[in-house]
Amino acid sequence: MNRIRAAVAALLTTALCLTLSPATVLAQQHRGPAECAAALDCTAAEIDLMSMDERLTFVRAMSSGPAAELLPGYLPRWRNIEGIITFFRDRGMGAPGTWISHVDAGIVEGIERGIALALGRDGGTFGNPGSEPWADYLTALRDGDLRGRSAHDRAWSVAEQASTEHGVMLAEEVHGVSATGVEQRFYLYSEFYRWVLRNRPALLDLVTPPVGPGEQPQLLFHNWFTDVSNATPSYRGAVLAYDLAEFDAPGGTLSMVALLHAYTRELADDHLADIGAN
């Protein structure tokens, strides 16, 4: 009788496994932020299952853990991304399976694998074209090759751009999920932010402290707004950009210039508050 019961249980278990959808199986294998930060091998599909709060914990754990091994004494390199994730969390955006979630998962996966590659861990890029640029950024920063702010910001932006475009591909081509009109306009504003980083005037480096460990004053608004180690500008900028995106403002150079003026005007108080706090 015991043998019969065992056989029936085995058959039922097999049948249940065969009927589970891939998404259900993946959900059962869902790893948490701490485990992912330690292993550095969670795929974009796994990250997509995380809530925005979990992703925030994940990014912070990578910064304080494995990334800190590479860059002892440096402030976290992805606090601006923390600001965006916090914005999504506060607005209730980016649930698993949505366009925002897949794009964000591609970004976070690129950071994760970039850290892994820079540390010499196995596993490759996971097919994420941002992984190697992130590894190059981290090793160059560690070796003192990105002390000039313009070179630093360009390297950071190139890596983030590659990861972001991969996330868009995952959302639209792999999962067949499209952005809403508001999400697309918000994304274009984020493209503008990355463009500003990549095209930072080198002359500003003459009045900007070199990139290095520890806190660094950001007296110029441009420096503060593009500071990757500060979550405030990206969070406040996301609030403003999303509000503008909801108005369906026309695209083009004029709207980007208007956006920069809006950022400068609306975020001036936050900039001054940060300077005062430091």
At residue 101, the pLDDT reads: 99
At residue 23, the pLDDT reads: 42
Considering the domain boundaries, does residue 160 fall inside one?
A: yes
Considering the domain boundaries, does residue 213 fall inside one?
A: yes
- Whether residue 213 has pLDDT greater than 80: yes
At residue 276, the pLDDT reads: 62
Considering the domain boundaries, does residue 136 fall inside one?
A: yes
Residue type, 86: T
Q: Where are the alpha helices (DSSP H) in 40-130?
A: 44-48, 52-64, 66-70, 79-91, 99-118
Considering the domain boundaries, does residue 20 fall inside one?
A: no
What is the per-residue pLDDT across 62-114, written as a single tens digit (0 to 9) for each?
A: 999 999 999 999 999 999 999 999 999 999 999 999 999 999 999 999 999 99
Residue pointed to by tokens 């991969």: 166
At residue 263, the pLDDT reads: 64
Signed CA dihedral, 266, 237, 148, 141: sign only: positive
- Give the whole-angstrom CA distance, residue 176 versus residue 182: 18
Which of 84-88, 148-152, 242-246 comes out lowest in average pLDDT? Answer: 242-246
At residue 25, the pLDDT reads: 42
At residue 163, the pLDDT reads: 98
Considering the domain boundaries, does residue 17 fall inside one?
A: no
Cβ(255)–Cβ(205) under 8 Å? no
Considering the domain boundaries, does residue 15 fall inside one?
A: no
Structure tokens given for 96: 């698993």
- Whether residue 49 has pLDDT greater than 80: yes
Which of 24-33, 58-67, 126-135 comes out lowest in average pLDDT? Answer: 24-33
| Average pLDDT estimate for 144-167 | 97
Structure tokens given for 98: 């949505």
Considering the domain boundaries, does residue 114 fall inside one?
A: yes
| Segments forming the whole domain that contains residue 190 | 28-277
At residue 129, the pLDDT reads: 98
Considering the domain boundaries, does residue 241 fall inside one?
A: yes
CA angle, 238 as apex, 236 and 240 as ends, to 5°?
75
Confidence of residue 52 (pLDDT cuts 50, 70, 90): very high
- Whether residue 15 has pLDDT greater than 60: no
Q: How many structural domains are present in the chain?
A: 1
- Whether residue 176 has pLDDT greater than 90: yes
